[in-house]
Amino acid sequence: MKTFLLLLISSLTLWANAHIFVYHRFGDNRYPSTNTSIKDLKNQFDFFNKNGYKVITLNKLINALKNKETIPEKWVVLTIDDNFKSFYKNGLKVFKEYGYPFSMFVYVEATQKGYKDYLSWKELKEISRYGSLEFHSYGHGHMSKMSTSDLKKDFEIGLKVFREKLGIKPKYFSYPYGEYTKRVKEIAKSYGFDAILNQNMGAIASFSDIYDLDRSALVGKSNLDYFLKIKALDAKWISPKSYPEDGVLKFLQVKTDQNSKHGYYYISGFGSSRVELNNGEIKLNLNKKLKKFRTRVIISIGNKMSTKLLMKDEYGTK
């Protein structure tokens, strides 16, 4: 009995996953696809409250991952991409009411140049009393289309202005539009961030790459209950590793630790198909001409999921 309980407990903690969510605009119905209404926000926070979810800081999650600690079930981290005024005007009071921490990723140029719709440095400083401010680039460009020297310039000027105006060094980075390639990731990593966040739907487990953390977007008509049921799949992607040069996705090969006989694979523009597993491995000829410059390939087995983002890199590895 004791062994059984121990086994049960250890497998429960092995299965434990945290979830990172990303918001953009709050109570701003001019942009339905990136907006979260205040009613929806309160419903989500009530759901966390009633169902035992613990909203923690991004710091706490990253420290647990770095120290190889067990990730408890029901940890939730809330992030906000872009320093929109609507957070200050509408969202912040709800976060304060529930006492929930957050990390806001700042598009530096927008504040620096006083773009309409974006927060001022003064407002950002006020916000930093309740949550952390992190880095979301200087110019909010499509990074896979920027040359290496332009990318470096963007990081350097952005980090310099961020530090001068806010007096802090950001610890975390999120990609503009959630777009990245191997080259973009390596450049971002070279600036010494403790973690990098993408925008692929998913969950966080002890084996997650801290430089490629999945976030599900709680915008528009998103399904929180579904997002919370997703678990991270420990998957080794053998093919594809990057966007195919000729745009044809020839082969899918992914190794997992799963015993299931089948799972599903999804490709942007093609939908979802069933796939058989052989000793946890997926091996499949595809020969699909990709339709989108930004393609997600997702493997799911039960409620476990692993995503590969394929983006054309205009500058290869140069």
CB of 77 to Zn ion, least distance (A): 17
Nearer to Zn ion, 80 or 252 (CB): 80
CB of 282 to Zn ion, least distance (A): 33
Q: Could you tell me how many residues of this chain bind Zn ion (CB under 5 A)?
A: 3
Q: Mark 40-79 with x for binding to Zn ion (rule: CB under 5 A) and - for no binding.
A: ----------------------------------------
Nearer to Zn ion, 25 or 312 (CB): 25
CB of 158 to Zn ion, least distance (A): 13
Neighbouring CB atoms inside 10 A of 216's CB total: 21
**Could you say whether residue 81 binds Zn ion (CB under 5 A)?**
yes
CB of 79 to Zn ion, least distance (A): 11
Strand-pairing partners, residue 81, are 105
CB of 220 to Zn ion, least distance (A): 16
Backbone angles phi, psi at 218, to 5 degrees: -95, 70
With contacts defined by CB under 5 A, name the span among 12-20, 171-179, 189-197, 242-250 that binds Zn ion. 171-179
Give the integer Cα–Cα distance in Å for 250 and 188: 29
**Could you say whether residue 82 binds Zn ion (CB under 5 A)?**
yes
CB of 224 to Zn ion, least distance (A): 21
Strand-pairing partners, residue 22, are 79, 217
DSSP string, 221-269: S--HHHHHH-EE--EEEEE-SS--TTSEEEEEEEEES---SEEEEEETT
Q: Mark 122-161 with x for binding to Zn ion (rule: CB under 5 A) and - for no binding.
A: ----------------------------------------
**Could you say whether residue 179 binds Zn ion (CB under 5 A)?**
no
Instruction: Give the CA distances from residue 112 to residues 54, 109, 139, 166, 224, in Å, rounded to whole numbers and listed in that order.
Output: 34, 5, 10, 11, 34
Instruction: Give the CA distances from residue 209 to residues 144, 205, 245, in Å, rounded to whole numbers and listed in that order.
Output: 20, 9, 25
Q: Is the dihedral of CA 169, 143, 127, 157 positive or negative?
A: positive
Give the integer Cα–Cα distance in Å for 283 and 297: 14
With contacts defined by CB under 5 A, name the span among 32-40, 81-89, 220-228, 272-280 that binds Zn ion. 81-89
Residues that bind Zn ion (CB under 5 A): 81-82, 176
